Amino acid sequence: MGRDGHTLDRVADGPRWPLIFGIVFILIVLFVPYGLIGTWRLRGTSWKQQWRERVRQVRNLLSANR
């Protein structure tokens, strides 16, 4: 592979790379409808809720053992 800036053209067989990027973009839009950051934030809140629930369960176990 050379460093002439046309590596992607050779790997993707010429001008097909815009098609590849387009397909990847469409897949991201279809499967991650809120965007990457929006999906991360939505899942982040559920992680926070799960974390709080686990902490509460551990506290209940520790207080029950006293």
H-type helices in the chain, by residue range? 7-11, 17-31, 35-64
Confidence grade of residue 17 (pLDDT, cut at 50, 70, 90):
confident
Q: How confident is the model at residue 50, as a pLDDT?
A: 75
Which of residues 59 and 9 earns the better pLDDT score?
59
Token output for 2? 């050379």
Residue 59 is encoded by which pair of tokens? 């506290």
> Domain map of the chain by residue range?
1-31, 35-66
Residue 25 in this model has a pLDDT that exceeds 70: yes
